[in-house]
Amino acid sequence: MLLEDEVALLRKLPLLSRVDPARLKLLCFASGRESFAPGEILFREGEPSSGAYVILSGSVDVFRSEADRHTVKTGSEVEVAIVGQSSMLNDTPRHATVTALSDVEVLRINSSCFMQLMTSCCKSSEGVIRSLGAQLGKNPGQQ
Amino acid sequence: MEPNIFRYIWMHTRREQILIVMVVLVSMIPYYLALDLPKQIVNRPIQGMGFEEPGSTQLFFRIAPTLPFIGEIRIFEGVALERVPLLIALSLTFLALVIINGLFKFYINVRKGLLGERLLRRTRYELVDRILRFPPQRFRQAKSGEMSSLVKDEIEPLGGFAADAFTQPVFLGGQALTAMIFIFVQHFWLGVVAAVMASIQVLIIPRMRRRLIRLGRERQLTARELAGRVAEIVDGIQTIHTNDATNWERADIVARLGRIFSIRYDIYQWKFLVKFLNNFIAQVTPFLFYSIGGYLTIRGSLDVGQLIAVINAYKELPGPLKELIDWDLARQDMQVRYEQVIEQFEAEGLVDPARHDIDAEIPPDTLGPLAMQRLFLRNEFGSPLLEDVSLQVAPGETLAVIGESGGGAPVIGEVFAGLVAPSQGRIVLGERDLGQLPERVTGRMIGYAGPAIHLLGGTVMDNITYGLKRRPADPLADGNPEPDDMREWRLKEARMTGNPVFDKDLDWIDYDAIQPSLRDAGLMAAIHEVLEVVGLRGDIMSFAVHQTVDPDATPELVAAVLAMRSRLHARLTERDLAGTVLPFDRGRYNAEATIGENLLFGIPAERNASIGVIVSDPFFRETLVATGLLPRLFDLGRNFARVTLDLFGGMADNPDLLQWLTYMSPEELPEFEHILSQTETGGADRAKPAHLVRLVRLAMWYIEPKYRFGLLDDGLRDMLVEGRQRLDRQMPAALRDHLQPYDPAAYLARATILDNILFGKINRRIGRSEERIAERVRSILAEAMAEDRKLRDAVLTLGLGYDIGAGGRRLTLFQRQRLALARTLLRDSRFYVFNEPLSGVDPVFQERMIQDILAFLAGQPEPPGIVWVLANPALAHHFVRKAEFSRGRLVAAALSGTGDVNDNLGEFQAVIS
């Protein structure tokens, strides 16, 4: 999968769908592609954040010990998922433990590049704020 | 310190001053002889005085002074010489006198310089010694930048002045006085005129100078404040940036500079006005001589010869007078400087030097508990911080001090450590008041780690052993390579200037002060253990493996690293490591390495070697052409540039985002844009050589998995591997010296230890691969170190040699906190006071560290007493007792773990109110 394809997939994420295309591509460039085998852990609850993971293919299990709840997130060419988004945005420790359920391909978003992008482009940050707002509207209890 | 600069100088340099005056007096004899000799040479051999008849001779070197009352004394009859021999003899005498005078001058200047430098050394030492002895409250208003500028710059001219302080006025005054007396002898009234004019000078000028002194004082004050502010800016640069206060700081500096400027401008105006008046008075006197003296001569009461003698004598006057005035100016300036410096270093309640005595013995009656007895503490405004606190901790006990912030708990830590003196009541160690005990005793008995961490610039080693540096070892046992006479000289000079004769180059580490459980294993083993307790060992290992070492100097380390390399590579097939490292393999393309690295397949061989030499050699280009790589790399470079421009072309105004562009500088973007417009894909043979070189060189940076531009296919990879083989086979010997090829059996001299163990690239495509590898390397290193003590010490020494930067800035806060704890734990003490040493640390980590530290200290043969001020009361159950503070009072004391807070109060102060 090349940079161009990753950009197209990232665009499917609500969080990034309204970000300026040139900047999205740059964010993608500065981020790193990683893969995990089934059973491997992407990150553990309580660890310091090292950026959000966008699941490009495969499924992961998200476990929050606080709520004692497992959720499965899956990414494919049709739709991608994002994990670790809130700890990247707040720069707080991880809220959940994420484990690969299958072979997983991810893009680890470079959080400092993401923040620079937000501060350097109003249009992009406005887009991100809107999509965060939409998320808030959908599940007000969780945020 | 002595407030009067002259008394100060005299007190410390009197013997040398007298010696110099004597030598100067003696030097006057050859000086006057040398002045007199030219007259003799001209009169006698040249003009022939006394040689009127051919063959007549004169006596040379006849020493027969005529003294009053005694008459002539013949010391040496002299040698009879003819005219030419006499000329030669006199000329040679003149030459000898010139040399003697020069030597005198040389000797006097060296003595003066020596005197000045010794005094400066003494003063600087005294000042720093005072800082070390300042009472704690003195530091509230002290700015470190100002203090250091006082010691360094402002006192500096003292040395130069000290040498002239007494000799200069004596001689200049003597000269001026001689000239004055001479004038009086010639004519009384003209003498009066000269005296009056000189006294006008002496009366008016110093008055005008007073303003100069005041201005000078202001100038110094403002300049020192400026130094303090600049230091503050440097120290607080992050705060300045986060508050967007750079412009406020600019305004402040501008205002200060303006003030300094106006003061200096004022100084110049006055200084030159004074100079003008001074010159005017000096010049107006000859006018009076000419007019009055001339009138007197016409009237006949003064003869012409006398008038000329007076005017000539007066000509001798301004020189010394001017220099005297200059000296006076220097004196005033120095007096001001000196007073200002002294003022800053005066403080009430300087610590008695006896408390810092290096030989102080530990008194036997200090072995009891550490206790506060009805202790009160007020801050500088008189509000109470602690009220009527009685609390003690015995050796072997552990006590947690808790309480809301501002309730007095942290102050308890400071009082227990003896950092703050109580306003009322006592803090005692056994039977002795803590404030009266020498620091050698308190330092040995009480270990302290507080919230404000102070680390010294230097290495980890310097810092971790800081608590052990208590006195120098015996110089004889040390095997000092320095020659004895050098050493003697150094110590003699130190003694002469009132410096203590401490020898810094000796081993200051007190090995008996290491924790008893670790003492016998040696310092390195002890440090290793303590680092483990505070959880810093991994960090130190990491510092070590990121260093490069000279393989020739450390053959054992190199062998061990190579062994670790094969151990790691043998395990690369294990499940969690599979694929995480891509080893350097001559027959395969390394996906995580750049194209350039793949082609050359090696690293620069030596410090001065350079890959650039190889790449720019015609041989390199020829090989690329021969393997058909050149057009392919041209195309790749061209596409690489195109995509890069596409990504970054629009970000030119955004420096933050441009940091992600690592393989070219932002300034190169327009150049590549130009090159792209001049070239076309597949057009390597038509491109200009300069463009070709630029694009091929750019291609060298490409890493497919990192950039994911899809520019590299398997065919090209194979070609690159083939090119690598060809380069290796055909490389000229001269170029070969610059490159150390990747050889699994060889140590890469220019790579870090870590890279040598890895011998490959980390595969970033595999999630958390760096972490997994780092962990595995750490465990392999730990295994190897456990097997081989020499290796352990070698690696530890490397890691401990890491330079932590000024104040430990190159460490994270957590690392600094742990290093400060390690420093405290390495040293054996009867009591340990931990005053929120882990503030800001994750509670889980904090709890683990507290447990580890308590277990470590409890494991000592004689467990010490521990006071731990906790910000988090939930951790108090790890301690045997706890004491809770609120509003400066001890509100609850209990055995922790028991529910009843007022239990066990018999031993403590009862709860008040």
DSSP labels, A54-91: EEEEEEEEEEETTTTEEEEEEE-SS--EEESHHHHHHT
The answer for residues whose C-beta is within 8 angstroms of residue B453's C-beta and 6 or more apart is B808, B816, B817, B819, B820, B837
B829 and B721 assigned to the same domain: no
Please indicate whether, in this complex, the C-beta atoms of B656 and A116 are within 8 angstroms of each other: yes
With vertex at residue B621, the alpha carbon angle to CA B617 and CA B624, rounded to the nearest 5 degrees, is 140
B339 and B261 assigned to the same domain: yes
pLDDT for B896: 65
pLDDT for B721: 94
pLDDT for B481: 59
Closest in B657, B706, B768 to A26, CB measured: B657
Q: What is the C-alpha radius of gyration for chain A, rounded to an integer number of angstroms? A: 14
B648 and B713 assigned to the same domain: yes
pLDDT for B897: 54
ipTM topping 0.95: no
Closest in B656, B764, B767 to A106, CB measured: B767
Is the minimum CB–CB distance between B651 and chain A shorter than 8 Å? yes
Residue-number span of the structural domain to which B311 is assigned: 152-351
Distance (Å) from the alpha carbon of A106 to chain B's nearest alpha carbon: 9
What does DSSP assign to residue B346?
A: -
- Residue B144 identity: S
Closest in A2, A33, A116 to B709, CB measured: A2
Count of structural domains, chain B: 5
B283 and B321 assigned to the same domain: yes
Please indicate whether, in this complex, the C-beta atoms of B708 and A30 are within 8 angstroms of each other: no
B50 and B179 assigned to the same domain: no
Beta-bridged to residue A43, according to DSSP, are: A98
As a whole number of angstroms, the distance between CA B51 and CA B46 comes to: 10
Contact present, A104 and A96 (Cβ < 8 Å): no
Does the domain made of A3-131 have the CATH classification 2.60.120.10?
yes
B463 and B488 assigned to the same domain: no
Residue with tokens 């091929």: B696
pLDDT for A42: 92
With vertex at residue B105, the alpha carbon angle to CA B496 and CA B41, rounded to the nearest 5 degrees, is 155
The answer to whether position B631 is within a domain reads yes
Alpha helix stretches (DSSP H) within B535-688:
537-545, 555-570, 595-600, 611-615, 618-626, 629-648, 655-658, 668-678
Beta-bridged to residue B230, according to DSSP, are: none
Residue where a domain terminates, one of B133, B165, B183? B133
Which CATH number fits the domain that encloses residue B272? 1.20.1560.10
Measure CA of the first residue to CA of the last residue in chain A; give whole Å: 33
Nearest to B328 by CA among B480, B179, B469, B161: B161
| Phi, then psi, of B177 in degrees rounded to 5 | -65, -40
B122 and B180 assigned to the same domain: no
B673 and B593 assigned to the same domain: yes
The answer to whether position B739 is within a domain reads no
Is the minimum CB–CB distance between B765 and chain A shorter than 8 Å? yes
B209 and B164 assigned to the same domain: yes
The answer to whether position B320 is within a domain reads yes
Tens-digit pLDDT profile for residues A81-138: 999 888 888 878 888 999 999 999 999 998 888 888 888 888 888 888 888 888 888 7
As a whole number of angstroms, the distance between CA B825 and CA B852 comes to: 11
Is the minimum CB–CB distance between B75 and chain A shorter than 8 Å? no
As a whole number of angstroms, the distance between CA A109 and CA B717 comes to: 29
Measure CA of the first residue to CA of the last residue in chain B; give whole Å: 49
B502 and B603 assigned to the same domain: no
Residue where a domain terminates, one of B682, B701, B731? B731
pLDDT for B909: 43
As a whole number of angstroms, the distance between CA B758 and CA B592 comes to: 13
B689 and B723 assigned to the same domain: yes
Which CATH number fits the domain that encloses residue B855? 3.40.50.300
Residues in chain B with pLDDT values less than 70: 35-36, 63-68, 316, 318, 365-366, 475-483, 607-609, 896-913
Domain boundaries, given as residue ranges, for chain A: 3-131
Closest in B647, B656, B707 to A25, CB measured: B647
Question: Residues of A with CB below 8 A from B647's CB?
Answer: 22, 25-26, 29
The answer to whether position B801 is within a domain reads no
As a whole number of angstroms, the distance between CA A134 and CA B29 comes to: 102
pLDDT for B912: 35
pLDDT for B910: 40
Q: Residue A44: closest CA among chain B residues belongs to which residue?
A: B768
The answer for residues whose C-beta is within 8 angstroms of residue B149's C-beta and 6 or more apart is B224, B227, B228
B184 and B293 assigned to the same domain: yes
DSSP labels, B425-494: EEEEETTEEGGGS-HHHHHHHEEEE-SS----SSBHHHHHTGGGB-SPPPHHHHT--S-HHHHHHHHHHH
